[in-house]
């Protein structure tokens, strides 16, 4: 029996609750400092538990904790994309973007550290988690557009816009969150409309969509 | 005296020539395989030299060689952006993009490995090299646009488009280089015009530029 289990405070939470408490503490730390600046001691201190307890839950140490926290952030991000299939398409996109930018705003430093790469704990697994979020965003957008078999030009347009949004988020954090979130959101939606219109000139599938969007207004 | 120095073949090249020969060999390898799959033995074999000789030039081993090869690729990429200040702006952009996409086409696998991150040898220094290329691209574009003090909205528009081009390059490699390079180039130039036009609605500085581009045609 590990020593921590004998302390009453440690018995109050069950395994899932404890795990989730540690992930929350880690996410909050990662949200404000780069991963390489955070130690397991910091996480233990933030959660008000002992270092051995953190190791008991994350025997792989910091790398495992970082990946779990990243996965939990990725899940939260993907929830931003959930949007009912009602009303004009661009308005739905604006609402999803609003939640996404709210997440970026709230997790600023951690979000930058996560996406800017070069972190000492970055691995192909963490890259895969971030890529999973990008892919989920593309799937959501194409599904709202009502497209089940997107051609290469439409697919590339959507993926390019998602990358541009990600870049905009990082630049926005870098520029002290200017322009204001509402303006950034509307501007990004307008850009989506504009790049779709450009692709429509070369791609009949996208042209049909753009016609639908105009009627949708 | 290292043993390699006694072999006549090793004396023919001076230090700079030898270094450049090793970098060329490394770049060619990195261009077709992910960095983590390449050993110093492979580089030595590709350059037709001994492993100790590679270590003599790159005592930091694979990491140092990788960074030097990356820096040399970054220099080559930045040369793609050199474009005389003559003729319509979007035509200049198309010519620079043509050279850039030619580079992507030629270095396909290495280019992907480099930019997709998650590489075992990725560090904050290699990230800084890649970021340097992005920054150089933005500086070139703004300077061709004749802007010395870009406001936040114009700056963000240019940086978002550069990121979107990078994403397009990776997707293009992923999709067996479809659409053809010429079409991709023209499409990306059109997207640049479209996002500038969207920003122009919110930003007087960009609006003045877009007017100039229309007159330029």
Asked if B112 and B173 touch (Cβ cutoff 8 Å), the reply is yes
Residue B206 has pLDDT above 80, yes or no: yes
Lowest mean pLDDT among B124-138, B163-177, B197-211: B124-138
Gap from B142 CA to chain A (nearest CA, Å): 17
Tell me how far apart the alpha carbons of residues A126 and A9 are, in angstroms, rounded to a whole number: 33
- Nearest residue of B to residue A159 by CA position? B167
Tell me how far apart the alpha carbons of residues A198 and A128 are, in angstroms, rounded to a whole number: 30
**Number of inter-chain CB pairs under 8 A, A vs B:** 101
Q: Does A179 touch chain B (CB under 8 A)?
A: yes
Between B95 and A214, residue with greater pLDDT: B95
Asked if B90 and B7 touch (Cβ cutoff 8 Å), the reply is no
Tell me how far apart the alpha carbons of residues A135 and B149 are, in angstroms, rounded to a whole number: 36
User: pLDDT at position B47, please?
Assistant: 92
Asked if A152 and A202 touch (Cβ cutoff 8 Å), the reply is no
Between B8 and A167, residue with greater pLDDT: A167
Q: Do A201 and B190 touch (CB under 8 A)?
A: yes
Please give the structure tokens belonging to residue B159. Answer: 């940086």
- Chain B residues in contact with A202 by the CB 8 A cut-off are 179, 183, 187
Long-range contacts of A73-77, Cβ-Cβ distance < 8 Å, separation of 24 or more: A73/A27, A73/A30, A73/A107, A73/A110, A73/A114, A74/A129, A74/A130, A74/A132, A74/A133, A76/A103, A77/A103, A77/A133
Please give the structure tokens belonging to residue A211. Answer: 């016609």
> Most confidently modeled of A196-205, B55-64, B66-75, B207-216?
A196-205
Dihedral pair phi/psi, residue A118, rounded to 5°:
75, 5
Sequential pLDDT tens for chain A (217 residues) = 444 444 445 557 888 889 988 988 888 887 777 777 888 999 999 999 999 999 999 999 888 888 888 888 888 888 999 999 999 999 999 999 999 999 999 887 777 766 664 444 556 677 788 888 999 999 999 999 999 999 999 999 999 999 999 999 989 998 999 999 999 999 999 999 999 999 999 999 999 999 988 887 6
Largest Cα–Cα distance of chain B, in whole Å?
A: 69
Tell me how far apart the alpha carbons of residues A41 and A54 are, in angstroms, rounded to a whole number: 9
Of the pLDDT bands very low, low, confident and very high (cuts 50, 70, 90), residue B10 is low
User: pLDDT at position B156, please?
Assistant: 96
Q: Do A175 and B152 touch (CB under 8 A)?
A: yes
Q: Do A122 and B126 touch (CB under 8 A)?
A: no
DSSP letter, residue A150: -
Q: Do B159 and A179 touch (CB under 8 A)?
A: no
The Cβ-side half-sphere exposure at A16, using a 13 Å CA radius, reads: 0
User: pLDDT at position A178, please?
Assistant: 92
Residue B11 has pLDDT above 80, yes or no: no
Q: Do A198 and B194 touch (CB under 8 A)?
A: yes
User: pLDDT at position B123, please?
Assistant: 64
Q: Quick one: which of A96, A109, A83 has its CA closest to A29? A: A109
- Nearest residue of A to residue B161 by CA position? A164
> Which of B117, B152, B159 is opposite residue A178, by nearest beta carbon?
B152
Q: Does B166 touch chain A (CB under 8 A)?
A: yes
pLDDT tens sequence across B114-153: 666 444 455 667 778 888 899 999 999 999 999 999 999 9
User: pLDDT at position A113, please?
Assistant: 66
Residue A134 vs residues A59, A130, B52, B74, B149: alpha-carbon distances, Å: 29, 7, 43, 26, 33
For chain A positions 100-129, those within 8 Å of chain B (CB to CB) are 116-120, 122-128
Q: Quick one: which of B84, B81, B97 has its CA closest to B164? A: B97
User: pLDDT at position B71, please?
Assistant: 86
Largest Cα–Cα distance of chain A, in whole Å?
A: 69
Indicate the angle between helix axes A89-106 and A62-80, nearest 10 degrees: 150
Tell me how far apart the alpha carbons of residues A179 and B152 are, in angstroms, rounded to a whole number: 8
User: pLDDT at position A6, please?
Assistant: 45
Q: Do A156 and B163 touch (CB under 8 A)?
A: no
User: pLDDT at position B31, please?
Assistant: 75
Which H/E stretch holds residue A13? Answer: none
Q: What is the CA radius of gyration of chain A?
A: 21
Which H/E stretch holds residue A49? Answer: none
- Chain B residues in contact with A168 by the CB 8 A cut-off are 156, 160
Gap from A149 CA to chain B (nearest CA, Å): 15
- Nearest residue of B to residue A175 by CA position? B152
Q: Do A159 and B172 touch (CB under 8 A)?
A: no
Share of chain B above pLDDT 90, in %: 54
User: pLDDT at position A29, please?
Assistant: 85
> Structure pTM?
0.85
> Which of A152, A175, A195 is opposite residue B178, by nearest beta carbon?
A152
User: pLDDT at position B118, please?
Assistant: 41
């Amino acid at each position: 029996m590990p020593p921590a289990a004998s302390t009453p405070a440690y018995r109050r939470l069950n395994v899932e609750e404890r795990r989730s408490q540690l992930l929350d503490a880690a996410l909050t730390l990662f949200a404000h400092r780069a991963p390489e600046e955070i130690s397991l001691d910091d996480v233990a201190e933030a959660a008000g538990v002992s270092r051995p307890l953190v190791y008991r839950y994350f025997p792989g140490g910091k790398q495992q904790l970082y990946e779990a926290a990243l996965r939990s952030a990725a899940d939260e991000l993907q929830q931003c994309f959930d949007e009912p299939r009602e009303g004009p398409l661009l308005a739905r996109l604006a609402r999803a973007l609003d939640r996404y930018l709210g997440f970026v705003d709230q997790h600023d430093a951690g979000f930058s550290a996560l996406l800017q790469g070069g972190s000492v704990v970055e691995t192909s697994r963490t890259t895969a988690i971030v890529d999973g979020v990008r892919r989920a965003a593309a799937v959501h957008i194409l599904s709202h557009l009502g497209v089940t078999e997107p051609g290469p030009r439409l697919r590339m347009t959507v993926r390019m816009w998602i990358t541009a949004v990600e870049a905009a988020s990082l630049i926005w954090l870098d520029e002290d969150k200017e322009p204001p979130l509402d303006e950034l959101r509307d501007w990004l939606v307008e850009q989506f409309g504009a790049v779709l219109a450009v692709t429509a000139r070369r791609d009949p599938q996208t042209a049909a969509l753009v016609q639908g969007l105009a009627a949708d207004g």
